[in-house]
Structure 1
Amino acid sequence: MKNSSRLKGILLVVIGTFLWGVSGVAAQYLFESENFTPEWLVVVRMIIAGAIMLIYSLFKGDKNVYLIWNKKENIIKILVFALIGMLGVQYTYFAAILHGNAATATILQYLSPVIIIIYLAFCNKKMPSLKQISCILMAILGVFLIITKGNISTLAISKEAVFWGVLSAITCAIYTLQPAELLKKYGSLCVVGWGMLIGGIAFSFIYPPFNCNGNFSVKSILAIALVVFFGTLIAYYCYLESLKYIDPSETSMFTCVEPLSASILSMIFFNVSFSFIQLVGALFIIVTISILSFSKKDDRIKEVSEEKAIAK
């Protein structure tokens, strides 16, 4: 019975993380083949997903949906989270896909735990452990190999893709650290729901969702559904459900399925090719996150994968 429950948990987290990778590839298809923009997709995804999360929370009888607004400090925190954390990580990730591809965008975003290690070490005025320093160096080497193929004089991907990919990792770190107190007190559905809805509505004043030059077809509508529903809501649900059956540290390990699925699907559908050196670089980054996820001492780092899941 115990083994079957664990298997169910593993299956759920693999499905969830696989769907995140699929949603990145679906976004790449919308940008490259159907003329949609990252701005439009971010607005639509955030408003629809945020509204559904809040409605579901109310349906469950979660009073936190409105209690979160009773304190002034909460209002400031949720607005910062929505406009800088949530909107920031959503837009930079899609922009990285637009200028590069889903695989490299996803892999570069996985640098966020390394950024968090550096930030926490600076704030605590304490040097990272030897293992953490090793992980930082391994991640830096991984990025170097991905963007240069080992040749320092050339870039294998565009400067814009590197810029948005690294910025995506930075905003993901902000997204993870900034709302920690709100998440513990009010729950992820409530906090993330409001973050998505507020961020989406605010961004819609700059990029109205009704002004869309994309080509609406059966394929593009299916791709949008993959991003909004399967890659956000269903993936998020599967991930949270998996926590009922397996340990969070185990769950965070399986998030490595995401860059793998994004890479494989990018190769299949977009003929994206990776040199052996780039594959080694990607492996370095994935191994880095795996080491940090298994660490018992780096509890805050292990939470990155769990909280990052909500932003997908």
Structure 2
Amino acid sequence: MELKPRIKGILLVIISAMLWGVSGTVAQYLFQDKGFSPEWLVEIRLLSSGIILLLYAFMKGNQDMWTMWRSKRTILSLIFFSVVGMLGVQYSYFATIEYSNAATATILQYLAPVIVTCYLAISTKKIPNLQEILAVILAMLGTFFLVTKGNIHSISISKLALFWGIISAFTAAFYTFYPRSLLDKLGSTLVVGYGMFIGGLAFCFIHQPWNFTGQWSISSIIGVIFVVLFGTLISFHCYLKSLKYIEPTEASVLSSVEPLSAAFLSVLWLKVHLDTPQWLGIICIIVTIIILSRAKNMESVAEL
């Protein structure tokens, strides 16, 4: 029996979000149990995924892969997106995991919708509505509980984890709103494929792939393969395919499964302990995502 399009879309976006959440937890295992460095994993993930996506686009043959090279402006824009957006969000996310855990890193990164909301309010000189103001307050409250465990006199995560977590949120916000013109010109497969490859190539000048530290074993090999294939390629494919069946705002709401899956798997598998205030912080930020997505959806309906 064939699934209805809407159900298929919902399942696809949930699968992609869960894979992203699990991928973060696998990365935590590689960093903390196997001694891998986030630098090495980031460049291998970006280079491998970028090459595979570009080969896929080439074999599919329905896109001009060399369009970008005909415009200096497009080239510079793509390089800027690759280094600041793609590489920035990948490295800052993995660095946050290294200094804390996958659950904390994922939750801090999910402050990005709040940053986007504030940026749009400033750039358009439009006062946020009540829903958006409530979302910002909830996000700040959630971050406070997550970082301090509800005690204003203490910080429950390291300063480096907090620093990279905030950077992760800002780069994720940049990744969201910057590449709109690139997506219109090149399409999502080429933008992400070139973005990953160029970002990974640029990072090789900072950290060479052959400078490896860590313990190779069957589990670590499986972990690396999972991060590259399932946490990047398959999750990306599922998310894009889901947009054929459901609205982007719905996909955004459903992707809140990611921080939940990262949190639960960190607790169950890696024995990460989260106190009640931290769980409350997670809930606050997930509610924030839902409020912002619903507010955007209501605006879209009003414009019709």
Q: TM-score, normalised by structure 2?
A: 0.95
Match of 1:60 in 2: 60
Q: Is the 8 A contact 1:253 1:293 kept in 2?
A: yes
- Distance in 2 between residues matched to 1:273 and 1:286, nearest whole Å: 19
Q: Is the 8 A contact 2:132 2:291 kept in 1?
A: no
CA deviation after TM superposition for structure 1 residue 82, in Å: 0.8
Match of 1:303 in 2: none
Match of 1:291 in 2: 291
Match of 1:302 in 2: none
Residues 4-153 of structure 1 mapped to structure 2, 5 A cutoff: 4-153=4-153
Match of 1:261 in 2: 261
- Distance in 2 between residues matched to 1:220 and 1:109, nearest whole Å: 25
- Distance in 2 between residues matched to 1:271 and 1:164, nearest whole Å: 23
Please provide the CA RMSD for this pair: 1.4
- Listed one character per residue, the Cα deviations across residues 88-145 of structure 1 (whole Å, up to 9, x for unaligned) are 0010000000000000100100000100111111111222122111111110011001
Q: Is the 8 A contact 2:38 2:94 kept in 1?
A: yes
Residues 180-191 of structure 1 mapped to structure 2, 5 A cutoff: 180-191=180-191
- Listed one character per residue, the Cα deviations across residues 41-69 of structure 1 (whole Å, up to 9, x for unaligned) are 01000000011111111111143421122
Q: Does 1:205 align with 2:240?
A: no
Partner SS for 1:68: helix
Q: Is the 8 A contact 1:22 1:226 kept in 2?
A: no
- Distance in 2 between residues matched to 1:260 and 1:93, nearest whole Å: 16
Match of 2:167 in 1: 167
CA deviation after TM superposition for structure 1 residue 262, in Å: 0.3
Residues 213-292 of structure 1 mapped to structure 2, 5 A cutoff: 213-292=213-292
Q: Is the 8 A contact 2:82 2:195 kept in 1?
A: yes
- Listed one character per residue, the Cα deviations across residues 168-197 of structure 1 (whole Å, up to 9, x for unaligned) are 000111111221111122111101111110
CA deviation after TM superposition for structure 1 residue 2, in Å: 9.0
Residue identity in the other structure for 2:102: A
Q: Is the 8 A contact 2:69 2:75 kept in 1?
A: yes
CA deviation after TM superposition for structure 1 residue 277, in Å: 1.3
CA deviation after TM superposition for structure 1 residue 200, in Å: 0.3
Q: TM-score, normalised by structure 1?
A: 0.92
CA 124–247 in structure 1, closer or farther in 2 if over 3 Å, else same: closer
- Distance in 2 between residues matched to 1:132 and 1:7, nearest whole Å: 29
- Distance in 2 between residues matched to 1:285 and 1:235, nearest whole Å: 22
- Distance in 2 between residues matched to 1:3 and 1:208, nearest whole Å: 46
- Distance in 1 between residues matched to 2:44 and 2:290, nearest whole Å: 33
Residue identity in the other structure for 2:63: K
- Distance in 1 between residues matched to 2:272 and 2:143, nearest whole Å: 17
Bigger Cα displacement from structure 2, 145-154 vs 173-182: 173-182
- Distance in 1 between residues matched to 2:221 and 2:2, nearest whole Å: 40
Q: Is the 8 A contact 2:106 2:259 kept in 1?
A: yes
Residue identity in the other structure for 2:175: Y
Q: Is the 8 A contact 1:5 1:245 kept in 2?
A: yes
- Distance in 2 between residues matched to 1:250 and 1:21, nearest whole Å: 18
Partner SS for 2:256: helix
State the percentage of identical aligned residues: 51
CA 106–58 in structure 1, closer or farther in 2 if over 3 Å, else same: same
Partner SS for 2:174: helix
Instruction: Flag structure 1 segments of 5+ consecutive residues without an equivalent.
Output: 300-312
Partner SS for 1:206: coil
Residue identity in the other structure for 1:278: Q
Q: Is the 8 A contact 1:64 1:190 kept in 2?
A: no
Partner SS for 1:65: coil
Residue identity in the other structure for 2:8: K
CA deviation after TM superposition for structure 1 residue 298, in Å: 5.5
Aligned length: 299
CA deviation after TM superposition for structure 1 residue 31, in Å: 0.3
CA 118–242 in structure 1, closer or farther in 2 if over 3 Å, else same: same
Q: Is the 8 A contact 1:57 1:190 kept in 2?
A: yes
CA deviation after TM superposition for structure 1 residue 167, in Å: 0.8
CA deviation after TM superposition for structure 1 residue 280, in Å: 1.1
